[in-house]
A and B are shown apart, each in its own frame.
Chain A
Amino acid sequence: MKEFALYAGCTTPVRLPAYEASVTKVLEKFGVKLIPMKDVNCCGAQYIESVSYNAFAAMSGRILALAESMGRDILAICGACSGSLKIVKHELDNNEKLRAEVNSLLEDEGLKYTGTVEVKHLLQVFREDIGYDAIKAAIVKPYNGVRLAAHYGCHVLRPPDIVHVDDPENPTIIDRIVEIAGGVAVDYTGKTRCCGGPMLGIDEEVAGKIGTDKIDNIRAANVDGIITACGFCDIQLTQVQFGNEAEGKERIPVLQLTQYLGVALGIDAEVLGISLNKISPAHILATQ
């Protein structure tokens, strides 16, 4: 059985526990066991990252070193966390001076970064560790003709030479899984554009407009739902549909990939936390 250390991050456990639960249940179905990481700190994404390169490297570096002490590769389910951990790993592997500085901070905890663990985003585990054939073989309750738009998440896909997840201009992992489970993967304008989430802290109005633009493009493709693989994106794409600009428009449900797939694998919707989704995906589930 393949095992990963799960780094769930700050946002998912609090704002989107259903994502964490559905990831755990779906991977378990494929024989992938997750061991939640304890005594961790924030990866440092965006905020610490903006003001101190060294402090950022230390924060993500400590998470990497903790996984080393567990002897497990890391599974990160948030775009920002997976991106930060991979970027810092890349820096620590190529910058001896930085590695020495981070290790000097970890020493009194008995931790050390040596570079032995890999960091994977959820989408990589589906493609590399489980594989499309095994996913196909496990579908027991396929969807029928439901039209779905994939949103991948910027930090999941870019920078591609460091994160190694999918083609950054034409990603396919979510789309393939949508189709394997019986849905129709629908292309739309600006598929790889940002959800606007990272702008929330500095200009909420601009963040809302960017998210709304994304939703409008998806709506124009006449879809039944949106499938994501980043907690932060899920929250942003959901909340912009409750803002003033969205008034009078029908809301498009946002589902995590693991919630969508989980139902097709025969896992109970309640176990996947689907009742916690703010926009009901009942009409998607009804196609089964």
Chain B
Amino acid sequence: MDEVNTAANTNHVPSSNFAKEVEAMPGGADIAKCIQCGMCTASCMVASTTDKYRPRKLIQMILLGLREEVLSSDLPWLCMTCRMCEERCQENVNLAEIFHAVREIAAREGYIPPAFKNAIDVVLKDGWMLEDAYSDFIEDDRDDLGLDTDLSWNKKFVAKLKKKYFKGVFIK
């Protein structure tokens, strides 16, 4: 058997329909456009700082159908969504949106890093991020600067969202 025939007989079939599942999510539609050139990894500050994250490889894992491996890992959560890769991608693949879609699927199945879970719990309880950090000292600084000290955040709306979108999923 010569080399050409070997290549022709190689049949790449994804091990699951994970890419299709991502494609059907809001923001996930462009994953099929990826040509695996690696421009994203070359542009990525996270990839240039740590060996554990490579956006091209993560997209490849999704395309290959490695559903459980992707969902149970930290990988989709390591994207900073700085969109430098999207700016450079010649095929207009919106990686930040794709990874958001993957995170949403992961979260539904209970895979969510503790820091994200804690922040989501706080936002859905208080309506914003920093209620516990808003101290008397900061209130004094605001007063000195002539700024309103009553930040008047709305809590009712997030309670409504919690009921509609997060009930019985992963939030207490």
Contact = CB atoms under 8 A, between A and B. Distances in A.
- Are A and B co-members of a single complex? yes
Interface string A197-221: 1110111001001100100000000
Given A13-B142, A38-B152, A196-B80, A54 B165 contact: yes
Interface stretch (B4-12, B31-39, B54-62, B153-161): B153-161
Interface in B127-171: 127-130, 133-134, 138, 141-142, 145-148, 151-155, 157-158, 160-161, 164-166, 170
A53 B27 contact: yes
A225 interface: no
A59 B158 CA distance: 8
A50 B104 contact: yes
Interface stretch (A15-23, A68-76, A133-141, A175-183): A15-23
A154 B82 CA distance: 5
A154 B80 contact: yes
A206 B165 contact: no
Interface residues on B, range: 35 or more
A10 B146 contact: no
Interface in A1-53: 10-11, 13-15, 17-18, 20-21, 24, 36, 38-42, 44, 46-53
A196 B116 contact: no
B123 interface: yes
A86 interface: no
Nearest to B43: A193
Nearest to A272: B145
Contact of A50 (B116, B124, B133, B154): B116
B104 A51 contact: yes
A76 to B, nearest CB: 15
Interface string B113-129: 10110011001100111
A169 B88 CA distance: 9
Contacts of B116: 47, 50-51, 201-202
Contacts of B112: 51
A251 interface: no
A73 B25 CA distance: 31
Given A21-B146, A50-B100, A62-B157, A158 B26 contact: no
23 contacts: A13-B147, A14-B138, A17-B138, A17-B141, A21-B145, A40-B152, A41-B153, A50-B100, A50-B116, A51-B107, A53-B27, A58-B157, A105-B164, A154-B81, A155-B81, A194-B45, A194-B80, A198-B80, A198-B81, A199-B46, A202-B116, A206-B50, A210-B45
Nearest 7 A/B pairs, CB to CB: A194-B82, A21-B145, A154-B82, A158-B83, A10-B129, A51-B107, A201-B115
Interface of A: 10-11, 13-15, 17-18, 20-21, 24, 36, 38-42, 44, 46-55, 58-59, 62, 105, 109, 154-155, 158-160, 168-169, 192-194, 196-199, 201-203, 206, 209-210, 213, 271, 273, 276
